[in-house]
Each structure stands twice: as C-alpha cells, then as structure tokens.
Amino acid sequence: MRLDKYLKVTRIIKRRSVAKEIADKDRILINGKTAKSSSKVSIGDELTIRFGNKTMIVSVDDIRDTTKKDEAKDLYSIIEETYK
C-alpha cells in the first residue's frame, strides 16, 4: 500500500493530501530510509514521522484498504513518541 494512503487509513494523518505533502518534504522514514508518498508500506515496517515539534515512531501491524475509526489504531503500534 502507498505510504500516503496508509497514513490516512490509520488516521495518523487525517488527509491524504497532507500525508503526501509531509512525505515529499522528507519528514517520513521507512526503516531508516527517506520515503516519498508513493513508497510501499509492508507489515513489519517501522515508520518515523516528524511533525512540527513531535516525532512519532510506529510499527506497521496490519494493512487494510478501509477501516472504521475505532479499528484504525489496530493497524499500527506506537513504539516511541517524543516532543522537542
């Protein structure tokens, strides 16, 4: 699944266009490598997402094309969340 779609489906980022913009500014890493919005996400990958003053590291647990809001958190596990 594409990175921008995964971030939207999991509701880590609310809009796909925002996810695309963040990824294309080199603020997301997949397994330590810079990722673009079209990068493929697989189960077991580790995503590092840098928001303004927050860095979030999550592990991809499941991939689905659609999900309900209350089931979205089952698709990933938060490994670390830091604030600057």
Q: Which domains does the chain have, with CATH numbers?
A: 3-83 (3.10.290.10)
Per-residue model confidence as pLDDT tens digits over 37-62: 999 999 999 999 999 899 999 999 99
Return the CA Rg of the chain: 11
The predicted pLDDT at position 60 comes to 97
Residues in the chain: 84
As a whole-number percent, the residues of the chain with pLDDT over 70 amount to 100
Of 27, 19, 24, the C-alpha closest to 55 is: 27
Residues 6+ apart with CB under 8 A from 61: 43, 74, 75, 76, 77
Residue 65 phi/psi, 5-degree rounding, is: -70, -35
Whole-number average pLDDT of the chain: 95
